[in-house]
Structure 1
Amino acid sequence: MEQRDQWATKIGLILAMAGNAVGLGNFVRFPTQVAQNGGGAFMVPYFIALFFLGIPVMWIEWVAGRYGGKYGHGTLGPTYYLMARESLKPRSAFWWGVISGMLAFSLTVLLNSYYLHLIGWSAAYSWFSITGAYFGKNTGDFFSNYLNNHGEVMLFWGITVILLAIAVGQGVSKGIERWVKVMMPLLYIFAIIMVGYVFVLGSPIDPNWSTIDGFKFIWSPNWSYLGKHFYTVLLAATGQIFFTLSLGMGIIQNYASYLGPDDDVALSGLATVSLNEFAEVVLGGSLAVPLATAYAPKIVPPDVLSQGKSAALSWIGAKFGLGFSYTSLPNVFVSMGSAGKFFGALWFLLLWFAGFTSAIAMYNYLTALLEEDLGIKRKVGTWVVFLIYLIAGLPVIYISGYMDQVDAWVSFQLTLLALFDIIIAVYLFKPDNFWEELHKGAYMSVPGWYKPIILYIAPILLLIPLIGSAKSLIGATLEWPARLAIISMWIVGAIESYYSIKKKYREELEKNEVIIKV
């Protein structure tokens, strides 16, 4: 078997995995979910979902990735075929692998069709901030004009994706690892500088409005709100855990496949979760909401402000979302005067770094797929992926509503693939095999009481976002461009996965018995 690239250092692996998890979801989606789900009411189910769902599925994906790596696989189709055949005959296991690989491929392409544009927006706004391009202008109109300037949008998209291609083309240890060793520490430094500024900001506009009000909103448990909206908040919290940890995509398995067969996954997986949660809860939670609250008099309409803090915070919560960072927060930076150019550039550069370190993992998944399954050299494969992303991303620019429709399906497929993680990598692989693999070379012993959490509680909690996503899709109208994109990616992903498994395991599929065993 040809020797695959491996991580050169343990810290490089941890930073890469953390970079994979730390993304726009930490600094944009998390504050949005908090603001729109009762502030402190959101944090209670969030930590429950993290402990009972996020950590177990993270361990499952690390184990699956390292196991596939022993056989030379960094993609989900062949890996889940191998794990499923522990309980099933090869021909039955084959279809579990095909469907898993199909979901992972379609997810990666569909998600990046718009995610890479969001990263490009952040790069653009970092430039617009430092140059003061939106200062003295209506920030809502400025954002609309930017989105309608397709050449400018493609410029910043292109800069981002070309840099991704260069990084991934250099390989795992000499490319991805080196890039994240620089970008991840800088990301944390940028975030800490921003948080430090927020903590000393106080009440810059009105003594009745301070960052403390924002912190109180986030960290004061709102039991009344939680009681009235329990299922909605729990659905949002479990969904956020999946997005923030990058679960159900196949990319954690891909990174873990570059481990040695006895490298630790138990402590490494927990370290990845910890770094991500520090970035999200401590840093991400200390930025957008407190900052917006302190500058509420500048961004909240006067008629809402006159109704008091509760009404103003509700308005901020309702308006929070992706566009908030590009329409309302620039007003905050403008209100800071000359310092606003620096902090605005720092905020959007932070978003760009966070998005880039997540996108590099997804870029590598598709590159590994081309390299391992189709025999395309890595440096060539990276530019093939560039073309795939270019084609997949064009509808995001030119078709109104396309991004939202595709995003709804991505949310559903994320949780569906995570369910496959548990079914295949735990139950079909056999729970005792999974537990043994989790502890192979481990630097820590996972308590025995966590085993029933993985076996029973995690899948039950997983059904909450899965059912919630399915409900949101029922009755939703998919326009033909989104429908065509989704079905096309399913077909291509299924064909690729079918071919990749057949290519190496044709003989044992014909005989319907296991032949290749490492």
Structure 2
Amino acid sequence: MAVQSDSWGSRVGLILAMAGNAVGLGNFLRFPVQAVQNGGGAFIVPYLICFLIMGIPLLFIEWSSGRFGGKFGNHSTPYILDSMVKGRILKYIGVFGIFTNIAVAAYYCYIESWTMSYVYHSIIGTFEGMNQADVAGFFSSYIDIGHSTTGIPYEAIIFYLLCLVINTYILSKGLKGIEKVAKIGMPLLILFGAILAIKSLTLGTSGASEIFPNANAWDGFNFIWTPQYDSIFDLKVWMAAAGQIFFTLSVGMGTVHCYASYLEEKDDIALNAVSAGFMNEFVEVVLGSMIVIPIAAGYLGLDWVIENAGFGMAFQTMPYLFQQWGSLIAIIAGVLWFGLLFFAGITSSLAMGTPWIGFMRDEFGWSQNKGAWSFGLIALIMGLPTVILFQQGVFDEYDYWAGTVSLVLFAMLETILFSWIFGMEKGWKAITTGADIQVPIIYKYIIKFITPVMLIIIFMGSLFKPKDNDWSGNIANLVSGKGWSLDNGSIIKTITHSGIKEHLASATDPVIIAQLQDQIFYLNFARLMLLGLFLFICGLVYAAFQKRYKEGRNTL
């Protein structure tokens, strides 16, 4: 058995780090938008059910898998999975647990750098006197590499590099560095969120204006928190709710495995997993739903929010809304909001570096420092195109393939492996050994039967997403023999650029034709970058296998 070269300093630090891994930008940016776009209260019921029958089981699987692999000295998914089920091929499933983290960190740190920049701009009063269109225009200028909002050349790249260096430096300090950031960042995140939530609770109708006379913050609360039980029969809402679970819990990435691999064999993982999961849910469902949507509804009205809800609201709308509270309060609110997002981002991005570092240390004897800075270098090489070519769609392409498809695919494969190949009897023992709580026996059967089926449905649903996301209508058409119409957002159609090619086929303007052809070129470039990264990691796993074989550490 290999000697552990790193360990957690305390249980509180572990739970906060795990919660920080899960609590990310999606808790505050994606969850409210998903809720609004899927009917508000109509979204909450399927979401909470998916958390219980898919989220908690995946946490159990990944915590127990990580701890199991850790006792054999494995701290990354290729050989954590290999320690569970020996086989030359199965270890390559674990490549997703390194690939996804590097690819996501590459563009995630760019969003993280936005929050740093916006803290700076909030403090110096950049947004003072701007109307809503001006604030939205500021964001467009910021992501334009050739434009600077501060006079600093290539401002977006500078902030991105600064963010990446901060992440890499902390990673070079090992788990102790991550734990320290989690102990500071998570309490501040919750404190900042609570202050803004209280402000939104007291807003009421005071933000109404001549343009939006019916604006009422409580309309936002009511919209999100009024359950609509007919949504239980809406497959579209279920797919959206299940998809949000991946983003909110950071499952299907390999980070949970890596963190848990540093636990001792008798350490609890059941209560830790539940604690981290419910802390994430508190931050997302309570704080995440009480800031953006109610404040926006309080000034712009619920109808505007429903029509315009999107990821960009955090950067393109919130600074304008804060200005309505006066100059001083606007600065404080901006620091709280973007500071909150920064802490949510960095506690997640730090987790993304650990699988690579653990793998290189285990397999090639690299030091923590060498592993951390090499991760930063690879993330920089992968990430610069998402910064420089953001407007050409490279960022979104990374997010789709690495931050969406890869997560679902890996979660589906690891769940089947855990439940049916490793075996549920051994799996249940791995979950309950050292447990500080009595894990309900029902979860043994949920993990074996329900969770794999749900994940297969989600993956197949993404692969064959119906046109206009109309599940009920397309199922009826299929039953009646009219066939199944694929949406351009389905994986199958996305691979072939069907949506872009449809526009290209109908375009007559040479300028538009050239733009669409350029778009296809840049998207293919992004895919080649991702494919190259995946194959590179596969090559490292193969080299590690050969090294282990020569050292007599492989059974196959």
TM (normalized to structure 1)? 0.90
Query: Which structure would you say has the larger RCO, counting Cα contacts within 8 Å and 6 or more residues apart?
Result: 1
Q: Answer with 469-478 or 1-10: which moved more.
A: 469-478
Task: Give, as a single letter, the amino acid of the residue that structure 2 aligns with 1:366.
Answer: W
Distance 1:506 1:238 in 2: 44
Asked if the contact 1:4–1:72 (Cα under 8 Å) also holds between the matched residues in 2, the reply is no
1:263 corresponds to 2:267 = yes
Asked if the contact 2:34–2:240 (Cα under 8 Å) also holds between the matched residues in 1, the reply is yes
**C-alpha distance 223-7 of structure 1, shift in aligned 2 (>3 A):** same
The offset of 1:404, in angstroms, is 1.4
The aligned counterpart of 1:306 is none
Distance 2:439 2:237 in 1: 29
Distance 1:506 1:240 in 2: 44
Task: Give, as a single letter, the amino acid of the residue that structure 2 aligns with 1:461.
Answer: M
The aligned counterpart of 1:193 is 195
**Equivalent of 2:278 in 271, 274, 278:** 274
The aligned counterpart of 1:88 is none
Task: Give, as a single letter, the amino acid of the residue that structure 2 aligns with 1:348.
Answer: F
The aligned counterpart of 2:34 is 33
The aligned counterpart of 2:509 is none
**Equivalent of 1:237 in 236, 241, 245:** 241
1:209 corresponds to 2:215 = yes
Asked if the contact 1:84–1:428 (Cα under 8 Å) also holds between the matched residues in 2, the reply is yes
The aligned counterpart of 1:432 is 425
Percent identity for Structure 1 against Structure 2: 37
Distance 1:119 1:58 in 2: 25
The aligned counterpart of 1:349 is 339
The offset of 1:181, in angstroms, is 1.0
The aligned counterpart of 1:89 is none
SS for the counterpart of 1:261 is coil
The aligned counterpart of 2:506 is none
**C-alpha distance 288-498 of structure 1, shift in aligned 2 (>3 A):** same
The offset of 1:325, in angstroms, is 1.2
Distance 1:322 1:153 in 2: 19
Distance 2:230 2:263 in 1: 47
Match runs of 1:307-346 below 5 Å: 312=303, 315-338=304-327, 339-346=329-336
The offset of 1:344, in angstroms, is 1.7
SS for the counterpart of 2:200 is helix
Asked if the contact 1:135–1:334 (Cα under 8 Å) also holds between the matched residues in 2, the reply is yes
**Equivalent of 2:121 in 125, 128, 137:** 128
Asked if the contact 1:38–1:226 (Cα under 8 Å) also holds between the matched residues in 2, the reply is no
Task: Give, as a single letter, the amino acid of the residue that structure 2 aligns with 1:163.
Answer: I
Gaps of 5+ in 1: 86-92, 298-308, 513-518
**Equivalent of 1:473 in 487, 491, 502:** 491
Asked if the contact 1:295–1:332 (Cα under 8 Å) also holds between the matched residues in 2, the reply is yes
Q: Answer with 467-476 or 437-446: which moved more.
A: 467-476
Q: Deviation digits for residues 118-174 of structure 1, max 9, x if unmatched? A: 0001111111112221222301211111111462112222222222112111111x3
Asked if the contact 1:264–1:440 (Cα under 8 Å) also holds between the matched residues in 2, the reply is yes
**C-alpha distance 261-221 of structure 1, shift in aligned 2 (>3 A):** same
Distance 1:82 1:510 in 2: 10
The aligned counterpart of 2:149 is none
**Equivalent of 1:166 in 158, 165, 169:** 169
Distance 2:181 2:283 in 1: 19
Task: Give, as a single letter, the amino acid of the residue that structure 2 aligns with 1:147.
Answer: I
Distance 2:226 2:554 in 1: 61
TM (normalized to structure 2)? 0.84
Q: Deviation digits for residues 189-221 of structure 1, max 9, x if unmatched? A: 111111111111222222732221100000112
SS for the counterpart of 2:264 is coil
**Equivalent of 1:148 in 129, 144, 151:** 144
Asked if the contact 2:119–2:334 (Cα under 8 Å) also holds between the matched residues in 1, the reply is yes
**C-alpha distance 362-385 of structure 1, shift in aligned 2 (>3 A):** same
Distance 1:481 1:344 in 2: 36
SS for the counterpart of 2:129 is coil
Q: Deviation digits for residues 236-262 of structure 1, max 9, x if unmatched? A: 100100110000000000000010111
Asked if the contact 1:116–1:157 (Cα under 8 Å) also holds between the matched residues in 2, the reply is yes
The aligned counterpart of 2:151 is none
The offset of 1:510, in angstroms, is 7.6
Task: Give, as a single letter, the amino acid of the residue that structure 2 aligns with 1:183.
Answer: G
**C-alpha distance 405-254 of structure 1, shift in aligned 2 (>3 A):** same
The aligned counterpart of 1:406 is 398
The offset of 1:222, in angstroms, is 3.1
Distance 1:510 1:53 in 2: 33
Asked if the contact 1:52–1:457 (Cα under 8 Å) also holds between the matched residues in 2, the reply is yes
The aligned counterpart of 2:88 is 94
Distance 2:539 2:307 in 1: 43
Asked if the contact 1:412–1:470 (Cα under 8 Å) also holds between the matched residues in 2, the reply is no
1:501 corresponds to 2:517 = no
Distance 2:554 2:361 in 1: 25
The offset of 1:488, in angstroms, is 0.5
The aligned counterpart of 1:12 is 13
Distance 1:482 1:295 in 2: 39
Asked if the contact 1:169–1:382 (Cα under 8 Å) also holds between the matched residues in 2, the reply is yes
SS for the counterpart of 1:376 is coil
**C-alpha distance 470-493 of structure 1, shift in aligned 2 (>3 A):** farther
The aligned counterpart of 2:381 is 391
Aligned Cα root-mean-square deviation (Å): 1.8
The aligned counterpart of 2:532 is 488
Matched pairs, number = 486
Distance 1:42 1:317 in 2: 14
